[in-house]
Amino acid sequence: MANKIPSFLLVQSTAGSTKRGTGRVKVPFLERGIDHLAGVIKNGYAQWELSSQNGFFQKIDARVKILFLLLFILIVSLKRELLPEICIWNFVLGLTLFSRLSILRVYKRVLFLGFVFGFLIALPSAFNVITKGEIILLVARLSRPYYFWIYYIPAEIGITREGIYGVAMLSMRVINSLSLSFLVLYTTPFPEIVRALKVMKVPDSFLIIITLCYKYIFIFSKTVEGMYLAKKGRMIREDSNKKAREWIVGRLAFTFKKTQLRCEEVFKAMVGRGFSDTIRLYGFGKMRTADWFSGAFLFSMGLLFLLI
């Protein structure tokens, strides 16, 4: 082997010293993207970690929690007043606290998603162009009203009391639905959720798809992160955005091929262990008295909110 060693390998690398001072490397968009991806994995682990903590909601049977989620999302959608929505928000906040979840971690996401998918989407409806009513904040004054096709633009454009109320209602509904979903997700390990859905007669094909998707996302994220680290290990200068885009596009096809092969292997492993077309899970044990009491408590709170 010694004779075969290429001569260039016997030459000492020119990088003898750790030179500095020829400018800074910009963190490319790609790197930020990979950081984000790593964050997704991290949060997945964190979810699993938090799910196994010993809080109030973690102790409740997954079936009760799934039914609670469905019931409360229905109630949140049915209510037409702001007061019950605020009461539900407070109730969920209390449950989150009792479950020893990090309020900051949960509500950072809830409020961000609520802002984007609730407030921002509903904001235009606060204007009198869409929602007629009493103007409480004048934004613009035109010389005359305009008629355009089926639309009417009044001379005074502003935010109406009714519009603001509508925006607040929609934002609260989105925030409440998100808080409820995050509460259940953060307190229930993923396999428990799948088992609860199975017991509730959700079709197997749907369960197979979400289970495999969940696993696939983690494997895929790790593969992509590893691939990026390998590139970083051999990357000397920053890539231009164009080059970074080319790399991503090239790697998409490559990763697709790799994951396709992995999928085939996983499927063969499943078939090899007797998989036909149904998920067979070992059944849930009987619900404990504490689960019945918790279920009854949550159900009565739901009824209370329905009556407010």
Binding site for other proteins (CB under 8 A): 1-2, 4-15, 17-25, 27, 42, 45-46, 49, 223, 226-227, 229-238, 250-251, 254, 257-258, 261
With vertex at residue 80, the alpha carbon angle to CA 169 and CA 183, rounded to the nearest 5 degrees, is: 60
State in angstroms the smallest separation of the CB of 234 from other proteins. 5
Q: Which is nearer to other proteins, 204 or 238 (CB)?
A: 238
State in angstroms the smallest separation of the CB of 52 from other proteins. 12
Q: Which is nearer to other proteins, 241 or 260 (CB)?
A: 260
Q: Which is nearer to other proteins, 156 or 264 (CB)?
A: 264
Q: Are 66 and 184 within 8 A, CB to CB?
A: yes
State in angstroms the smallest separation of the CB of 19 from other proteins. 4
Q: Are 185 and 68 within 8 A, CB to CB?
A: no
State in angstroms the smallest separation of the CB of 18 from other proteins. 4
Q: Which is nearer to other proteins, 12 or 276 (CB)?
A: 12
Contacts of 187 (CB under 8 A, 6+ apart): 50, 51, 55, 57, 58, 60, 65, 99, 101
Amino acid at residue number 46: A
State in angstroms the smallest separation of the CB of 48 from other proteins. 10
> What would you measure as the largest C-alpha separation in the chain, in angstroms?
91
Contacts of 225 (CB under 8 A, 6+ apart): 34, 37, 38, 41
| Residue found by looking up tokens 């103007």 in the block | 135
Q: Which is nearer to other proteins, 12 or 143 (CB)?
A: 12
